[in-house]
Structure 1
Amino acid sequence: MNTDLFEAMENLADEKGIDREVLYEALDAALVSAYKKNFNSKTNVRVELDPSDGELKVYSRLKIVEEVEDRDLEIALEEAQGIDPSYEVDDVVENEVTPRNFGRIAAQAAKQVVTQRVREAERGVIYNDFVDRLDDILIGTVQRMDPRYLYIHLGKIEGKLPINEVMPAETYNVHDRIKVYVTKVENTSKGPQVYVSRTHPGLLKRLFEIEVPEIYEGIVEIMSVSREAGDRSKISVHAEDPEIDPVGSCVGQRGQRVQTVVDELNGEKIDIVHYSEDPVVYISNALSPSKVIDVLVDEDEHATTVIVPDNQLSLAIGKRGQNARLAAKLTGWKIDIKSESEAEEDGLLSSNTASRNDDDLVHDDEQ
């Protein structure tokens, strides 16, 4: 008698991609509520749904007790055993009480409750979809903006891109397509909230993972990333196989791979350097494109003093200290840079150090 109702539920499950059990649980709760409301019943009831033949039945449930205190909820043992001698105390007696017109009433009453459950289930599906995309890149379309956020259409949901996580000098118009990095997914009372970024270091890492097959396959590993979005970044890379050049893999033939990433980041400069477990070599590489004479390591303070040629001091420090700052973030070491003449005055240069060839330490060219 309720075939249309069940068919609607099945179609809804298929259309929304929602588990049928979730919908039928919602329908069950709605029908129990509808029965009690429309028939002014205080009795506990159970609804039995049979989608295969469209049957819908309602059963009253009375608990068997020695002495009845509430006839809406209980039945005496003696009376229950008059129905079936096998009944005992604490058993439940069920009796079908399905009203003749219950199908129509139930469908009307269930609509609002089921709609709410469907909305919740849809939100759950969306939340799970986007939780799986955390720390990943998505392509979206700019929908609108306000003083706090750019709102990015990501298919099933609108992502929030904080204004302070838009790269400097980037401007967007409605309907512009952009790549964003998913930083946070929250399940709130208003539904799932997805936050994205254009400045997060993870965006740079994921772009290289997409662009460089050796990284995707695990042959080359990105060890660290430091980034000042829109201006300059550094990444360190490593390959276990000595036959593999990790820097060359990231740069690509004629610089094509790194240039693709640079273009996506609107010209952001990217230094790609070799990772090393030796802090002397690693920090020397990280300060690329400057050359390094020596690196003095203080393990206790996790700090280093780097000595560079006099004519390389400005290059090593970088504009507004950027090169040194990025190198420190990349390596995790404190870095104090001194020119060769300063080091001599401070007695930091030994005769061996002073005579060392600049090329004794490994350096990587700026990309």
Structure 2
Amino acid sequence: MNIAHIDCDAFYAAIHKRDDLSLANKPVIVGGGQRGVVATACYLARASGVKSAMPMFQALKLCPDAVVLKPNMELYSQVGREVRETCLELTPMVEATSIDEAYLDLSGTERLHKAKPAVVLAKLAKKIETEIGITISIGLASNKFLAKTASDMDKPRGFYVLSKADVPQILWPRDIGFLHGVGPATVRSFAKAGYNKIGDIANADVKKLVMQFGDLGLRMHRLANGEDNRSLEHHAKRKSISSETTFMKDIGDFDELWEILQNIGVKLARIARQKSLAGNTVSLKLKASNRRNITRQVTLFEPTQTGKTMLEAIKPLLQNEIAAGPFRLIGLGLHDLVDEIEADKGDLLGNNNSKDLALEKAIDTLYAKFGKNALTTSRKMGKENDK
């Protein structure tokens, strides 16, 4: 089973709770005013009966103590991009179906990650919770329909594996409306014809279903038996790559942060070269001790895949933000990606990064041949000689 469905738990509300710790134990509703509707609600509010698309006045009757917040789509989009970028670190086969949901195809990645898909996905969930600050639910199966169904089985912070062999036991006893994408009108139509449970459709004569419901009857029969031959639509071009680290203890010292950022820059540049990519924009990401996210970026004079260029551009940005510390996370991003053939050519002002690129590629060769320890040892020897 290699197809996964990732669903962020109470996405909008979870982001607000992440950024405002005073909301941690309060019911939160995101939506319009008194005459508006509920966009989403946290699980504390849902326990009172609040649901998405419910009129706000009705939601407040059910949960009068709820904190109502206006939507912040710019913030949600930013976090959604962070989640997708994290998923893309596992596989290029990512199909985002909404701002907070995506399918992943992990076929052929076991050798790369040296772990089975279930283990890789468990690490993904932990990373998203630790570094982005929200939780996800995961469904793992052999196709998109079963993966989506599985991700809804154990929310929030769920991980459910659903095989086709489990379908008779898990799905057949349930009402037809449990099937993803089946609405009340369809449920009523099938109920009139005597089909109330998923198993009723799964075991029905296909020809009879087609005669009664046309193509819908055939589709329902396939879903009821756990069949789905749709492939992932993953043709969107990757727009950025990033690397970041979360500290065990908050750090506010510039020199210490700069040393960490230099290591991240070296890593990010190497990733760019491995993928034959270069970027036009470099971004700095910081997360303060109060969980406030700070993102700053600078556009370069030409695309680059050298760590030196990225770090020279980003150092002033870190200096400008150091007063907002201490920080619990620091990261570096490379955006507006292009093919490496466009990288580090130089300009009319004499800026030429080609020598730096040649040097860093030479270091890549040493890493590949001798491993990281050789360069680490030489650095330590250099520091000792300085003393």
Fold shared, TM-score > 0.5 on shorter chain: no
Name the structure where strand makes up a greater proportion of residues: 1
TM-score by structure 2 length?
A: 0.24
Name the structure where helix makes up a greater proportion of residues: 2
TM-score by structure 1 length?
A: 0.25
